[in-house]
Amino acid sequence: MSETTAAESQPTRRSRREVLGLLGTTATAVLAGCSTGDTTTPTNSMTPNNDSSATAKSRHRWKNTDSPTEKTLHAVVPSADGPFAVGGSGRVLARQSDGWTTVVQRGPAAAANTLRGAAVTGDGRAVWFAGGSGVVGRYETTDDRLTDYSAPKNKTSTWEDIAVTGAAGTETIHLVNGSGEYLRGHRTREGGMNWATVLKPGGGSSMKAIAFSDLSIGYISDTNAKVYETTSGGKSWHTIGIEGGSVGLYDVTAVNRDAVDAVGGDGSIFRYNGAVWTKLSAGSNALYAIDRQGTDGLAGGGSGTVFDRRAGQWRQEQVPTSAGLRGITIASNTAVAVGSGGAIIERT
């Protein structure tokens, strides 16, 4: 596989002062097999949660949080310094001790392109984000340094999502776009990027999400109800379903090869146990985001829809917003969901 050398892909770095300076610029059925192990049966709807019990009340404490933006937020991720969220006009927000604040206002290239995906290094020290016009950026949480890696391999179409594997300093970046393309890049110790050859794992349908469970195992979902798996860190991909699927898949998450989940535009959660897919109906609202940490999970979508996974069962949560939720994460002791109009809700 041919790769671009670091010298051919020089990043633009900005110090904390320069970053802050940017703030002042112009502003249903089992599919192909057996059970997944979830206690909710495939043909049943998710169990609603009306918080009628003391246990439910003590467990579910979603609240609205003040947001420094009215732009739609598309993704949220944890980091060593707390959650980060990204969205419209290139906004990057950080959750600090006194609330959410904007740390980057116009994106890594200061062009105000919408950021659609975010990811964090394995040690939580660097947050990556990507979006419109091929923008790609890296924010070092330890020294508030912003680096611009936009238009890798001269690709300027919108990156729909990004994943990161490895620790900060020598991490590997994984990008997908609306043309069904996948691009992998490795960051050098000098701060440059070696970009590999662009691949098309599928037939060209828009790829909306990418996630890795470790350095080698990763998954991509697209709008043609397809999920692709790599066991080589992105060097090659193969289709693992979903046979008989007919819904666009907007997000995917993986604990390991035996626990992969994807969410779709028909309000379903698709569960893969390493051999077969199971479709669980979650209602009429589209689901756009999902996250899993061990046996726990969260999914979010239209009209403020949130589902919580405990003990292998998905239950609907009561939340204080009707905003469409585009990103969701389980971050240490805090869960965060973000969405339309800059909405941010948290659960501790």
Q: What is the pLDDT of residue 42?
A: 35
Q: Over pLDDT 70: what percentage of the chain? A: 83
CA distance 310 to 307: 10
- Cβ burial of 318 (10 Å; 0-12, 13-18, 19+) is middle
pLDDT in tens, 19-58: 433 433 333 333 333 333 443 333 334 554 434 443 344 3
CA atoms within 13 A on the CB side of 165: 19
Encoding tokens for residue 277?
């897919």
Structural domain 6-347, CATH architecture:
7 Propeller (2.130)
**Predicted confidence (pLDDT) at residue 62 exceeds the cutoff of 60:** yes
Phi, psi (rounded to 5 degrees) for 162? -145, 145
Show the tokens assigned to 298: 């969260």
What dihedral do alpha carbons 307, 309, 313, 315 form, nearest 10°? Answer: -30
Integer Cα distance of 253 and 217 in angstroms: 11
pLDDT of residue 59: 52
How many angstroms from the chain centroid is the CA of residue 17? Answer: 28
pLDDT value at 4 more than 70: no
pLDDT tens for each residue of 285-302: 999 999 999 999 999 999
- The answer on pLDDT for 86 being more than 90 is yes
pTM for the full predicted model: 0.86
N-terminal to C-terminal alpha carbon distance within the chain: 45
The band of 243, judged by pLDDT with boundaries at 50, 70 and 90, is confident
Question: In which order are the strands placed within the sheet that holds 259-264?
Answer: 30-31, 277-281, 268-272, 259-264, 249-256
Residue pair 158/134 in contact by the 8 Å Cβ criterion? yes
Q: Which tokens hold the place of 259?
A: 């626990």
pLDDT recorded at residue 56: 46
| Pairwise CA distance, residues 283 & 268, whole Å | 7
* Mean pLDDT (the chain, rounded): 87
pLDDT tens digits, one per residue of 91-109: 999 999 999 999 999 999 9
Structure confidence at residue 21 (pLDDT): 37
Cβ(36)–Cβ(272) under 8 Å?
yes
Per-residue pLDDT reduced to its tens digit, 114-151: 999 999 999 999 999 999 999 999 999 999 999 999 99
pLDDT for residue 74 is more than 90:
yes
Query: DSSP E strands: which ranges in 227-343?
Result: 227-230, 238-241, 249-256, 259-264, 268-272, 277-281, 287-293, 296-301, 305-310, 313-316, 325-331, 334-339
pLDDT of residue 13: 55
| Residue with more model confidence, 268 or 20 | 268
Q: CA nearest 329: which of 59, 138, 84, 65? A: 84
The pLDDT-based confidence of 283 (bands split at 50, 70, 90) is confident
Angle formed at CA 36 by CA 30 and CA 40, multiple of 5 degrees: 80
Q: Which two tokens stand for residue 235?
A: 């060097």
Q: What is the mean pLDDT of residues 305-334?
A: 93
**Residue pLDDT, tens place only, 190-233:** 999 999 999 999 989 999 999 999 999 999 999 999 999 999 99
Distances (CA, A) of 17 to 11, 26, 103, 127, 170: 18, 17, 11, 18, 25
Helix (H, G, I), strand (E, B) or coil at 44: coil
Q: Quick one: pLDDT at residue 282?
A: 81
pLDDT band for position 331 (cuts 50, 70, 90): confident
Q: Which long-range contacts (CB under 8 A, 24 or more apart) does 295-303 make?
A: 296/330, 297/253, 297/261, 297/330, 298/328, 298/329, 298/330, 298/335, 298/337, 299/261, 299/263, 299/269, 299/328, 300/325, 300/326, 300/327, 300/328, 300/337, 300/339, 301/263, 301/267, 301/325
Element (H, E) at 177: strand 172-177
**Residue 10: which region, alpha, beta or left (left: phi > 0; alpha: psi -120 to 50)?**
beta
Give the pairing of strands 30-31 and 159-165: unpaired
Work out the pLDDT band at 344, boundaries 50, 70, 90: very high
Q: Choose the weakest-confidence range: 38-47, 64-73, 278-287, 328-337.
A: 38-47
User: In this predicted model, which residue has the larger pLDDT, 77 or 41?
Assistant: 77
Q: Domain locations in the chain?
A: 6-347
